[in-house]
Amino acid sequence: MTITTPLQQGRILIVEDDHSSRELLRMILEYDYHVETAHDGETALRLISEHDFDLVLLDIMMSGINGLEVLRTLRQDKRIQSLPVILVSALSDSDVMVEGLEVGANDYISKPIDPAILMARVRTQLKLKHLMDERNKHIEKLERAEQLRTQFVHIASHDLKNPLHNLSIANTLLKDEMGNNSRVKQILNVLDLTVENMHHIIEAFLDVVAIQSNTLELKPVVLSLSDVVNNIAMQYEIAAEEKDIRLHIGNHTGQVVADSARLVQIASNLVSNAIKYSPQGSVVTIWTETNDASLRLCVQDEGPGIPKKERHKLFTEFGKLSTRPTRNESRTGLGLWIVKHLIEKQGGTVGVNFPKAGGSIFWLELPTVASEPALAFAVEDSASL
């Protein structure tokens, strides 16, 4: 029995039917490695099936099952097909060596054995195996992480969204049942806001997953920005009134090619943020500008603006700033990061300007629809996103 010393860094199987050659190989290797031997192919295959080896030194010419047959058997077994094999042979026929490499040998050594060459090639193959083992471990971790991500997505998209939807319906029914009980209505309004916030968090999570996994589905169509702006204005009119904020709609004409639902989502995020960070009695202005072959949608607020030292965090993942919503509305730090990716996926850009008078102007820009030929090209180009 060979005792493993601190210097031994791998488990090597020597397969050689000649006793003196087998012992020579053992003597060269056993100080640095744990070495086992087999005198024929049958014994070698049995040992390999029973134990884990890091490398096999395999003689080609053996009685019974020769080295090439052993190698073919190893390469057909998925569990051990990546096991490094160095062929050893006294044959000078290059065709045999070529056949061995084609079958799957990692290297070969010719007899008589040069100890220095043997050690160098063994070290090289063991280093490569170590790197491959590390790579496989990382792949397994990534696969497990992907399985976990898939489970989380399923939970978020089904097991959480459906109960939240039921809570929202139940909340509406309770409001009708309670009549004029102002205290209960106040509690139900808080519940309504909580459910809405949870819904936004889930939607943000699903968007992040779709963006990072490149599974985002877009359906580009020709859109009137006037329709988009009017939709957003109606959607946020009540939220603005509750904070005594006036929504002012400026010029909002022009057409773009974009995914309708995603463009509304992007614009909603900018308007929602403007309302969140605007003080009572201020104005949020929405308008469009035409710049050469593009159309820009702008959302201006009269809030405190963004501190210069924090502006680099805008549009970054989880880029929360020190500026807080004026009524402590919820925030995830993902909204503008999602906006950036959604608009860029549609061939557009997003940015922000900081007027000297204060506040912020967040904007998104998309190519305009200028003519029928350009329109057809734009739709075809956007459909490839």
**Which of 224, 365, 368 has its CA nearest to residue 293?**
368
Work out the percent of the chain whose per-residue pLDDT is above 90: 44
> What does the pLDDT average to over 277-283?
91
Domain boundaries of the chain, sorted by first residue: 11-113, 139-212, 220-383
Where residue 202 falls among pLDDT bands split at 50, 70, 90?
A: confident
CATH class name, domain 220-383: alpha beta
How do beta strands 283-291 and 246-249 pair?
Answer: parallel
How do beta strands 107-110 and 294-301 pair?
Answer: unpaired
pLDDT digits (tens, 9 = 90+) for 5-24: 444 578 999 999 999 999 99
Quick one: pLDDT at residue 328? 63
**Which of 76, 84, 82, 80 has its CA nearest to residue 106?**
84
> What does the pLDDT average to over 257-273?
91
Q: Residue 165: in which H helix or E strand, if any?
A: helix 161-177
CA 207/CA 384 separation, integer angstroms: 19
Quick one: pLDDT at residue 193? 67
Q: Which CATH architecture has domain 11-113?
A: 3-Layer(aba) Sandwich (3.40)
The amino acid sitting at 303 is: G
Classified as helix, coil or strand, 88 is: strand
